[in-house]
Amino acid sequence: MTTCKIAFIGAGSVVFTQGLLADLFAFPELKDAHIALHDIDAGRLATAHGAARHIAGERGAAPRITAHADRRAALDGADFVINIVQVGMRESTRTDFAVPASYGVRQTIGDTLGIGGIFRALRTFPLLRSLGRDIQELCPDAWLLNYTNPMAMNVQYLTQATGLTRVVGLCHSVYWTMRDLSDLLRVPYEEVSYQAAGVNHQAWVLRFEHDGTDLYPRLDALIADDAQLRRRVRVDMYRRLGYYPTETSEHSCEYVPWYLHHDDEIERLRLPVGAYLDIVDENAAEYEKTRAALASGAPLPVEGTMEYAPQIIHSITTGTPRTVYGNVPNHGLIDNLPAAGTVEVPCLVDALGVQPTRVGALPAQCAALNRTYLSMNDLVVRAALHDEPRHIRHAAMTDPATAAALPVERIWDLCDDMVRAHAELLQPSLRATLGH
């Protein structure tokens, strides 16, 4: 066995922590790992601790599990740091929807781009800066595996604000897109070869093959024969752009100006405005179920999630080679996207760490959308790095869905109201309201 220390920052996200631990303890080499759990909510931390012990027992693992209210204690000597923090929790998420909705701005998920993504990032950045400083001091050789959204903005900020280089953002969208496409075409996923690249939640399936045969023509025929498939945003985007996007319709509709602003498109494509609020409530209910089960001694489900973090940890600690999809700085990986942006590409993982693969140039139409996405990201990061509140407004003006919904004066008004609503969670230099 290979003993390593894995720190969970935001372990009170109990449902997600449970899935990651179930995956980790499925590897024999990781059954004796040191799991250091940290959360600022004592109740959630205790629940995560209890769930971790239960999952270890169900998996036949004998890890060392510790719980820490002090983040630095959790980080001290860690080999891997998994960040799953959500700053502001449910209350801030509701604000991210309610204030824009009062201006007529529709959102479905609100965690990547748009007004919701901008302010989720801005209230997360102070935590990331202090986390990065602690890692530099207490575990400078650790790999920081980030799950917190907005993924691309957070990874860009982390690398530029802290100087950390062993940072990779992880998301399951590519994996589950390819599983779903394989099921749709009734081809075993294990027999499919594919390549995807772009940005998080807006990457593109560049190759999709079975036994050396391109599967896109079969997908085209299926779509042509199925009117219900054509009522999905990602299918609509694929038909027009020629490459299948790697995120759900609920996500994809928020990153372009064509859908959410139009009532007929919302109906045609069955878009669930405000859907993430239901997910937030479901997660809260799952947490309460977990806490009640632990208190009563009832069994907890122990289910793997096929997430990338446990696979990366296993590959680095054992030298087992794997390919995963990671979000990393674009240092020459995609030619026609900005160098400072965070891109999602295939990555080789082995004892040497996470090694991104150079993809080259994306199709021009795909790169054009990704560049707008990364331009907005860059403005948000610059707002925080340079203490420039005007860049918050510039980012909102650049965002396709917000710009489609509001004239520029209303965008500035909306940003002012969001700043007021989230002020206590923002760095002081960004709390100014600017008017027009």
Q: Tokens 């008017």, residue?
A: 435
> For residues 19 and 31, what is the distance between their CA atoms, to the nearest angstrom?
15
Q: What share of the chain is helix, strand, coil (3-state, %, to 5)?
A: 55, 15, 30
Distances (CA, A) of 153 to 304, 315, 338: 28, 26, 13
Interior CA angle at 430 toward 424 and 432, to 5°?
90
If residue 37 lies in a helix (H) or strand (E), which one and from where to where?
A: strand 34-38
Q: Residue 330: which of 297, 370, 298, 291 has the closest Cα?
A: 370
Nearest to 79 by CA among 13, 29, 129: 29
Task: Give the C-alpha separation, 359 to 197, whole Å.
Answer: 7
Location of structure tokens 């499919």 = 192
Cis check: omega of the bond before 389, within 30 degrees of 0 = no
Q: In this structure, what is the dihedral angle of CA atoms 177, 311, 144, 64, given to the nearest 10 degrees?
A: 130
CA–CA separation, 348 and 114 (whole Å): 32
Full 3-state SS string of 44-75: HHHHHHHHHHHHHHHHCCCCEEEEECCHHHHH
Q: Are 6 and 24 in contact (CB under 8 A)?
A: yes
User: Which candidate, 189, 159, 155, 154, places its Cα nearest to that of 174?
Assistant: 189
Catalytic-residue membership of 172: yes
Residues 255, 347, 399: CA angle, nearest 5 degrees: 15
* 215 sits in which H/E element: none
Q: Which of 352, 307, 17 is nearest to 169 (CA)?
A: 307
Burial of 285 (0-12, 13-18, 19+ CB in 10 A): exposed
Q: Which residue in the list 34, 172, 210, 262 is annotated as catalytic?
A: 172
Q: How far is residue 192 from each of residues 4, 185, 209, measured CA to CA in Å?
A: 33, 11, 6
Which residues are catalytically annotated? 172
